[in-house]
Chains A and B, each alone.
Chain A
Amino acid sequence: MSEKQSPAGAPALGKGAQINERVGIATREFIARASANRKTGRMVVALLLAFSIFAIANPRVFLNPLNLQNIGVTAPEIGIIAIAMMLAMLTGGIDLSLVAIANLSAITVVSLYSGIAANDPALAESLTVPIIVAGVLVGIGCGMLNGVLVSVIGITPILATLGTMQILNGIAIVTTGGSTLYGAPESLASFGRSGLGPVPVLFVVFLVVAVLVALLVSTTPLGRKIQLEGANPVAARYSGISSRSVLMSTYTIGGALAGVAGVLFLARNPTASADYGASYVLLVIVIAVLGGTNPNGGFASVAGVVLATLTLQIVSSGFTALRLSSYEYAIAQGVILIAVMVLDAVAASRRARRPPRTAMPAATPDAPAASPEPTPVTAQKETEHS
């Protein structure tokens, strides 16, 4: 705000005025973006709040570096699946099969590795990278299957992914025989144990993936199309966006992310089973919605999802530190999910009831108003999305 300059209505069109104008626009954009990320800001507050509550309640256990590292190691797999869920929700859909895909990818890696290692352990170890790539490819394949069902055949995402979840889960049960498989490349496990200083390297992987997806959503044409498709599919179609290819790429990317998450399962714990992470389906939806994703599509923020992941992992580990059961954590998840949505709904209806003075500055954003009011602009944007 401090850079705000003299009124832009000055008669002279000299260089100084132009620079003034530009600085003014930049400031306005910055403020608009900051308040558009209101939900992200809220997540920062929630994160700090959760952290301080548990840090005060049981500092000896909770603030133990081991515990904090544990949060950093468990968060990535959940967070990456939540980001994939966010992408599906961004198009107005949902992907219930993500956890099943991740498990199938982990099972693929373990069976390939132990299959080769049975004959030649050294060869299996040297084939670590191709084996991991195969696991991720399985994820991509499953994602493409979802994409075909949703975009080409036209099945509602919730039903299509419900069906593929059952099918993939069934395949996983059959291949594992219902038991837990052991054995993953040793280098993958040591990769999972290593860290950059005090930060676990898995957490770095998580941040890299998050930044990549954030760039995809906010800077690439595909990301913009995904957002438009979710905000208003009819308008998107009439603007020449092929919803078929957009949905296809969204679900394929989601499958790829789930495949990566499956590999992260193994990096943390070299076992794979068909029913690993059964509770993650609810958890990742909670995270996505908590992170500011609009389940009806069109609005989401990767930063919000990352923060929400960390918050929920802190709550989870804090509950453990306070010796609360996993069922109490399930209650907390449900309560948080519903509370957040109710608060959002109340706030949205309050915004909608506000008088339409908001239309003016939004319609003429370049008007030389002395004190640009950014909030109405974002308010209108958000009511459009909801």
Chain B
Amino acid sequence: MQILRRLRGKNNEGILALVLVALIVTMSVLSPAFLTAGTAFSTLRSATVPLIFALAVLIVIVSGGIDVSFAAVAIFSAYTAVSFAITMAPELPAAVIIAMAIAIGAGLGLFNGLVIARFRLPTLIVTLGTQGIFVGVMYTYVGATYYAQLPPALAAMSSMTVLDFSTGTGRASLHVMAVVAIVLAVVVWWMLTRTMFGRSLYAIGGDVEAARRAGFRVMRTQILVYVLVGVLAAVAGIAHMVMGRSANPQDLVGDELDIIAAVVLGGASIFGGRGSVIGTVLGVILIQLINNSLLLAGVPSAWLRAAVGLLLIVGVGVQALSARRKARRVHTLDEDKSDRLVQEDVA
């Protein structure tokens, strides 16, 4: 029982992993083309940008907020940096362009954070508003041109792979940006579990007032959260452009909900204070895999959107129902059950 509980994970990550394994097994039975290194790597490739976004969303959700402007931040910062490089200084090295995008993303995040933390406003509504502002400012003042060609320094990164080998069914390659996403996942995991800043996010997300009284500087932490989201979003925006080999201002915005769905499916509580990087990674991969498998199974792509919605409702619904049952059970705690709860708290 103890082991089962451990495997299940704090936020049902174990169940998610089980679902994932079941899906993979079913798919490989149904279609022999499925279980190959090529599929794995292409899933990883398509999951790269969503994963970076999901890490950003995870941080906000853990801290008790929600951000729907991250896609706007991503496209704004990456597109501004890239179009500046194309029109003004085509010889700029990739590192400078990326640093520029990150700086812009951090600035936009800072704006979100200042408005939200200073005036204690509802995060969903503020970021809905800033989303409109960011997209509008980009189209009006930065430009709306579609660039089919990236600056040479970034274009060189487009074909950069870390692993590249041929298998029986074709070539499989691991894009450099997928590695960036994995590294970022590890960094965010370390930050959330091993640093004071990460723990303060859980504290604030769990109960703002308690965190304040425990001595956390709530406002400063919240502002920092949104700056971090801006930085991660900018990286995701650059990754999107590098992997797509073009800069299109109409990209990304509109698919925010898939990312939020993935994070919530990964066990993060929308009320804050709960969530893990492992769960988020599993959630992102699950959604990518389901999309891929539905396409492989011949389901029209129009249904994908509905499938993600259905997945979200089922996932969250199950969580809500079990939480409701748990809430009812607490009132009839008997001796050894409460002992076990204490032990778990210690563990």
A interface list, Cβ under 8 A from B:
94, 149, 153-156, 158-160, 162-167, 169-171, 173-174, 177-178, 278, 282, 285-286, 289, 295-296, 325, 327-331, 333-335, 337-338, 341-342, 345-346
CB within 8 Å of A: which B82-131 residues: 115, 119-122, 124-126, 128-131
A174-B302, A338-B130 given; name 5 further pairs at CB < 8 Å.
A156-B316, A162-B309, A285-B125, A334-B131, A337-B132
Tell me if B131 and A327 are in contact (CB < 8 A).
no
| Interface-centre pick from A149, A286, A330, A335 (highest chain B CB count, 10 A) | A330
Which among A163, A173, A289, A342 is the interface contact of B261 at CB below 8 angstroms?
A163
- Per the bound structure, the CA–CA distance linking A94 and B307 in Å amounts to 22
Decide if B135 is an interface residue (CB 8 Å cutoff). yes
Tell me if B136 and A330 are in contact (CB < 8 A).
yes
CB within 8 Å of A: which B299-315 residues: 300, 302-310, 312-313
Tell me if B257 and A162 are in contact (CB < 8 A).
yes
Tell me if A170 and B115 are in contact (CB < 8 A).
no
A-B contact pairs, 15 of them (CB 8 A): A153-B317, A153-B321, A158-B124, A162-B312, A163-B261, A166-B310, A170-B306, A278-B254, A282-B131, A285-B125, A330-B135, A331-B132, A331-B140, A334-B131, A338-B129
What are the 3 tightest A-B residue pairs by CB atom distance, in nearest-first order? A170-B306, A166-B309, A331-B136
- Per the bound structure, the CA–CA distance linking A163 and B305 in Å amounts to 10
Q: Enumerate chain A residues within 8 angstroms of B122, measured Cβ to Cβ.
A: 295-296, 341
Decide if B232 is an interface residue (CB 8 Å cutoff). no
Q: Enumerate chain A residues within 8 angstroms of B129, measured Cβ to Cβ.
A: 282, 286, 333-335, 337-338
Q: Enumerate chain B residues within 8 angstroms of A174, measured Cβ to Cβ.
A: 300, 302-303, 306
Quick one: closest A residue to B135, CB to CB?
Answer: A330
B interface list, Cβ under 8 A from A:
66, 115, 119-122, 124-126, 128-133, 135-137, 139-140, 254, 257, 260-261, 264, 270-271, 300, 302-310, 312-313, 316-317, 320-321, 323-324
Q: Enumerate chain A residues within 8 angstroms of B303, measured Cβ to Cβ.
A: 170, 174
Tell me if B121 and A342 are in contact (CB < 8 A).
yes
Tell me if B270 and A330 are in contact (CB < 8 A).
no
- Per the bound structure, the CA–CA distance linking A289 and B124 in Å amounts to 12
| Interface-centre pick from A94, A296, A325, A338 (highest chain B CB count, 10 A) | A338
B302 to chain A, nearest CB (A): 4
- Per the bound structure, the CA–CA distance linking A148 and B323 in Å amounts to 17
Q: Enumerate chain B residues within 8 angstroms of A158, measured Cβ to Cβ.
A: 66, 124, 270
Tell me if A166 and B132 are in contact (CB < 8 A).
no
Q: Enumerate chain B residues within 8 angstroms of A345, measured Cβ to Cβ.
A: 119-121
Q: Enumerate chain B residues within 8 angstroms of A327, measured Cβ to Cβ.
A: 135-136, 139-140
Quick one: closest B residue to A345, CB to CB?
Answer: B119
Q: Enumerate chain B residues within 8 angstroms of A341, measured Cβ to Cβ.
A: 119, 121-122, 125-126
Quick one: closest A residue to B317, CB to CB?
Answer: A153
Tell me if A335 and B316 are in contact (CB < 8 A).
no
Which among A153, A156, A286 is the interface contact of B271 at CB below 8 angstroms?
A156
B128 to chain A, nearest CB (A): 5
- Per the bound structure, the CA–CA distance linking A341 and B271 in Å amounts to 21
